[in-house]
Amino acid sequence: MVSRPRVVGLIVPLTAIAVWQLLVSADVLDYEYLPAPREVADALADLVRTGELADDLAHTLGVALAAAAITLTVGGALGLLIGLVPTLRTYLMASIDVLRTIPAVALVPVAVLTFGPAVTTELILAVYAALWPVLIHTAAGVAAVHPRQYDVARTLHIPRAATVRKVVIPAVVPAWLVGARVAAVVALLVAIAAEMISSPRGLGGGLIESLNALTPARMWAYALVAGIVGYLLNTALREVVRSGLPSGPAHAARATTNAADHVGASATTPLRGLVPLATLLIGWQLVASDDSLSFPPPGTWFGAIARMYDEGVLLPAIGQTLTTFVVALALAAFIGAAVGIAIGASPWIDRTLSPTVDFLAAVPGAAFVPVAVLILGTSPVSGVAVVALVVSWPILLNTATAMRAVPAVRLDMSRTLGLSTGERWRKVILPTLAPGIMLGVRVAASMALIITLLVDILGAGEGIGRLLVESQQKFDARAVWGLLLIVGTVGYLTSATLTRVAARGHPPPDERDARSI
């Protein structure tokens, strides 16, 4: 029997689809790029009948699942090693934090120049993007193992290898599972994004072909399938995580918080944490040839940057990308927080909207971009709207979760003290929501940079994404790597800034422990 909450949750999407169809049928909604649901269903049926959808779906899922399998093994092993060896944490985490903030989309031109538009390119990019969540969550899980557990193992004279096998690994599994869930979703997102830019195959290739052919019904069909795949994958992984954790959602939340603290610590690691990255760049400079078509020495990147500056294209591109990124992220934070508070505060709104929100939030962000670009156009204002629309979901979901978790005793106490509604929100509710909102903003920031570059590439933007593609088409690897350096710097500075802002109201684990003594 279908539960009443699930039936209530179907009211909004079914009503929206029915109204959409009626408005189009009555010629009230007459826009060529907004097809009726019936047209989308017909296009989807055609894709199924011709076998195109099966081929594209198999291609995308094959890349995403292969990348997830690789990262679960490699990322888990590396995270375990880094977590067990304090010296490695000291000398690696800052370099890892720099590398993980480089959007995989920005690496597409480099990968295409090196490997060509092949499945290998998509797989490498998906592995690169999905590696970091597993590695960071696993390392955080190791760091969170209580020292008393090691003391007990030493007291019982358990060898180090056995301690790792019997104590550390079981304690790390919850964090590893949370990282695995994030990695699989990221791998799907990056696989679709890479297909959009470098390959005519897969769901991403189908979306772009439909966009270029101006067949909106077909494009909506591909976007719908991407959404269904993302939703089913996310739901299945959520159940796997829940079944694998001893304390259910609470343990998952704790594992996620530990990872966030671990990332925050890496962002404030001393400069010696950048030694491996600096060593790599120096070795690259000494070994690479100036004539390399894919990996020119780092010293030549700055010459390419200076050339683009002299040509007058660099600063306008940086300005447009930063403007779109910052304004869209601020708009997403406002919209996501406002809607999330409304959903979390009202059980009726929660039951009515949550199923729809869960589905839309599970749609890979890259699949939204062609649809939004076709409907909203390619102006700078529409670019901001597209990015804000896509990246508002993590902020919304985290805010709604935090709102549901506001302790009732705090609200009762505020009423007992006679606080007004405004004072209650300012002094009790908003401070309680702040950590959840900031966690959502930190997740949204990395996604916002990816979507900003995609909008540049797929639309008529003149930002860094457009320069990256033009440099790839000219086989100008020096310019590609120079632009990649700029994008990485923006990502790292954004991550470090948001981490410091969050840390002011959410002290590191050591401080929290000290305050509780």
When comparing pLDDT for 32 and 350, which is higher? 350
Question: Looking at the structure, do residues 327 and 231 belong to the same domain, yes or no?
Answer: no
- For residues 235 and 338, membership in a common domain is answered with no
Predicted TM-score (pTM) of the model is 0.81
Are both 179 and 59 inside the same structural domain?
Answer: yes
**Tokens 């840390």 label which residue?**
503
Overall size of the chain counted in residues: 517
| 220-229, 360-369, 384-393, 472-481, range with the lowest pLDDT | 360-369
Q: Clarify whether residues 357 and 477 are in a common domain.
A: yes
Same-domain pairing of 334 and 470: yes
Per-residue pLDDT at 326: 93
Same domain, 233 and 139: yes
- Determine, yes or no, domain membership for 29: no
Choosing from 269, 287, 305, the residue where a domain stops is 287
Q: Which residue has the higher pLDDT, 246 or 190?
A: 190
Structure confidence by residue, pLDDT tens digits, 35-52: 888 888 999 999 999 988
pLDDT of 331 higher than 90: yes
User: Does residue 158 register a pLDDT over 80?
Assistant: no
Question: pLDDT at position 513, please?
Answer: 34
Q: Is residue 160 in some structural domain?
A: yes
Q: For residue 110, which of 467, 472, 466 has the smallest C-alpha distance?
A: 472
Q: What's the pLDDT score for residue 334?
A: 93
Determine how many CB atoms are found less than 10 A away from the CB of residue 425. Answer: 15
Pair 245, 341 in one domain = no
**Using a CB cutoff of 8 Å and minimum separation of 24, what contacts does 493-497 make?**
494/101, 494/445, 494/449, 495/97, 495/101, 495/263, 495/267, 495/442, 495/445, 495/446, 496/97, 496/267, 496/268
pLDDT of residue 354: 77
pLDDT, position 314:
92
The confidence band for 426, taking pLDDT boundaries of 50, 70 and 90, is confident
Residue 1 lies in a domain: no
User: Which of 264, 287, 310 lies at the terminal end of a domain, its last residue?
Assistant: 287
Let me know whether 133 and 163 are in one domain: yes
- Report yes or no: 391 and 361 within 8 Å, Cβ to Cβ: no
Q: Is 490 found in the same domain as 360?
A: yes
| The two three-digit tokens of residue 387, written as one number | 């990015």
What confidence category does residue 420 fall into, taking pLDDT thresholds of 50, 70 and 90?
confident
- Tens-digit pLDDT profile for residues 446-502: 888 888 888 888 776 688 988 888 888 888 889 989 998 898 888 888 888 887 887
- The span from the CA of 379 to the CA of 425, in Å, is 38
- Helix, strand and coil in the chain, % to nearest 5: 85, 0, 15
Question: Which helix (H) or strand (E) covers residue 476, if one does?
Answer: none
| pLDDT tens, position by position, 370-383 | 888 777 777 788 88
What tokens were used for 485? 């350096």
| 298 in the same domain as 279 | no
Q: Is residue 7 assigned to a domain?
A: no
Mean pLDDT along residues 350-369: 79
Chosen domain end from 257, 287, 317: 287
Residue 21 lies in a domain: no
* SS3 annotation, 47-115: HHHHCHHHHHHHHHHHHHHHHHHHHHHHHHHHHHHHHHCHHHHHHHHHHHHHHHCCCHHHHHHHHHHHH
Note the pLDDT of residue 254.
52
Which residues are CB-contacts of 284 (< 8 A; sequence separation ≥ 6)? Answer: 295, 297, 298
Q: How many domains does the chain contain in total?
A: 2
Within a domain: 299: yes
**Residue 240 belongs to domain spanning:** 53-287
- First CA to last CA distance, the chain: 51
Residue 515 lies in a domain: yes
Phi-psi region of 363 (alpha: psi -120 to 50; beta: other; left: phi over 0): beta
- Are 327 and 244 within one domain? no
Report the CATH number that the domain containing residue 108 is assigned in CATH.
1.10.3720.10
d(CA 140, CA 54): 39
| Backbone angle region of 418, left / alpha / beta, with phi > 0 → left and psi within -120 to 50 → alpha | left
Non-local CB neighbours of 264 within 8 Å, separated by 6+ positions: 499, 502, 503, 508
Question: What is the average pLDDT score of the chain?
Answer: 80
- Answer yes or no: is 420 within a domain: yes
- Regarding whether 226 and 179 lie in a shared domain, the answer is yes
What was the pLDDT predicted at 352?
Answer: 80
